[in-house]
Chains A and B, each alone.
Chain A
Amino acid sequence: MLKLTRVQQFQRAVQAIFGLIIINFLFLVLSPTYRQIGNFQTIFAQATVLGIMASGSTIVLISGGLDLSVGSLLTLTSVLVGTFLLWEYPVWLCVLLGLFIATGWGLVNGLIVIGTGIPPFIVTLGMMMVLRGFAEIVAAGKDMSSFPRSFRLLGSGYTIPVLIMALVYSFTTLFLSRTKMGFYAYAIGGNPEVARLAGIRVNRLRLLYYALGGFMAGLAAVVLTARLNFANSTFGQGMELNAIAAAVIGGTSLSGGVGGALRTIVGVLIMTCLSAGLSHLGIGSSWQRVAIGIIIILAVWFDTLQRRRVLQ
Chain B
Amino acid sequence: MNDTLVEMRGIVKKFPGVVALDHVNFDLKRGEVHVLLGENGAGKSTLIKVLSGAYVADEGEIFIEGQPVHIVSPEVALSRGLRFIYQEPSLVFDLDVARNIFLGIEPAQGGLLKPFLLYQMAEELLRKMQIDLDPRKMVRHLSVTEQKMVEIARALATQARAIVLDEPTDVLESYARERLFTIIRNLKQEGVGFVYISHRYAEVYEIGDRVTILRDGKNVGTFNIKEISFETMIEKMVGKTLEKKHVSLPQPQEKEALRLEGVSRGKVLKNITIAVKKGEIVSITGLMGSGKTELAETIFGVYPKTGGSIYIEGERKEIQNPAQAIRWGIVFLPEDRKTEGLILDQTVRDNYGLPNASRLSRLGFVRFQSMNQEIERFIKGLQIKTPHRYTLAGQLSGGNQQKLVLAKWLGMNPKVFLLDEPTRGIDVLGRREIYRLITELASKGTAVLLFTSDYSEALEISHRILVMRRGEICQEFLRGEATEDLILKAAIGEVKCTSS
Contact = CB atoms under 8 A, between A and B. Distances in A.
Interface of A: 1-2, 5-6, 9, 178-181, 183-184, 186-187, 190-191, 193-201, 257-258, 307, 310-311
Contact of B332 (A6, A180, A191, A197): A197
Interface string B333-349: 01000011111111100
Given A179-B364, A180-B366, A310-B392, A2 B343 contact: no
B497 interface: no
B342 A180 contact: no
Contact of B390 (A9, A178, A180, A186): A9
Contacts of A196: 302, 322
A229 B357 CA distance: 45
Contacts of A311: 344-345, 392, 394-395
A307 B322 CA distance: 31
Contacts, number: 94
B367 to A, nearest CB: 10
A197 B334 contact: yes
B340 A194 contact: yes
Contacts of A181: 364
Given A180-B366, A311-B392, A311-B395, A194 B322 contact: no
Given A191-B339, A194-B354, A201-B323, A180 B361 contact: yes
B343 A187 contact: yes
12 contacts: A2-B387, A2-B388, A5-B388, A179-B364, A186-B346, A186-B350, A197-B334, A197-B340, A198-B326, A199-B325, A200-B355, A311-B395
Interface string B447-475: 00000000000000000000000000000
Most chain-B Cβ atoms within 10 A of its Cβ — which of A183, A201, A258?
Answer: A183
B341 A178 contact: no
B395 A194 contact: no
A311 to B, nearest CB: 6
A110 B361 CA distance: 26
Given A9-B390, A197-B302, A180 B345 contact: no
A180 B391 CA distance: 21
B345 A198 contact: no
Contact of A6 (B344, B390, B394): B390
A11 to B, nearest CB: 13
B354 A198 contact: yes
A100 B196 CA distance: 66
Contact of B322 (A2, A180, A187, A198): A198
A194 B334 CA distance: 9
Contact of A5 (B321, B326, B357, B391): B391
B161 interface: no
B408 interface: yes
Top 4 closest pairs, chain A to chain B, by CB: A190-B343, A198-B354, A199-B326, A1-B387
Interface in B364-402: 364-366, 368, 387-388, 390-392, 394-395
B353 interface: yes
A178 B368 CA distance: 8
Nearest to B297: A197
B350 A199 contact: no
Most chain-B Cβ atoms within 10 A of its Cβ — which of A199, A200, A310?
Answer: A199
B358 interface: yes
A59 to B, nearest CB: 15
B250 to A, nearest CB: 28
Most chain-B Cβ atoms within 10 A of its Cβ — which of A2, A198, A257?
Answer: A198
Contacts of A199: 322-323, 325-327, 355, 358
Interface in B402-438: 408
B403 to A, nearest CB: 16
A179 B365 contact: yes
Contacts of B355: 198-200
A102 to B, nearest CB: 23
B392 A200 contact: no
Contacts of B388: 1-2, 5
B323 to A, nearest CB: 4
Contacts of A9: 347, 390
A195 to B, nearest CB: 7
Contact of B350 (A180, A187, A201, A310): A187
A2 B408 CA distance: 22
Given A180-B366, A183-B366, A257-B345, A193 B340 contact: yes
Contacts of B387: 1-2, 5
A79 to B, nearest CB: 35
A194 B343 CA distance: 7
Most chain-A Cβ atoms within 10 A of its Cβ — which of B344, B350, B357, B388?
Answer: B357
Nearest to B409: A198
A171 to B, nearest CB: 13
A178 B300 CA distance: 29
B469 to A, nearest CB: 26
Contacts of A190: 343, 345-346
A258 B300 CA distance: 29
A1 B408 CA distance: 23
Contacts of A197: 300, 302, 322, 332, 334, 340-341
B127 to A, nearest CB: 41
A155 B416 CA distance: 57
B225 to A, nearest CB: 43
Nearest to A255: B345
Nearest to B339: A193
Given A198-B355, A199-B325, A200-B323, A178 B366 contact: yes
Interface string B216-250: 00000000000000000000000000000000000
A180 B354 contact: no
Given A2-B388, A199-B355, 16 more contacts: A178-B365, A179-B364, A179-B365, A180-B358, A180-B365, A183-B350, A183-B366, A184-B357, A187-B354, A190-B346, A193-B339, A193-B340, A195-B343, A197-B322, A198-B408, A307-B345
A142 B167 CA distance: 72
Interface in B294-342: 300, 302, 321-323, 325-327, 332, 334, 339-342
Nearest to A191: B343
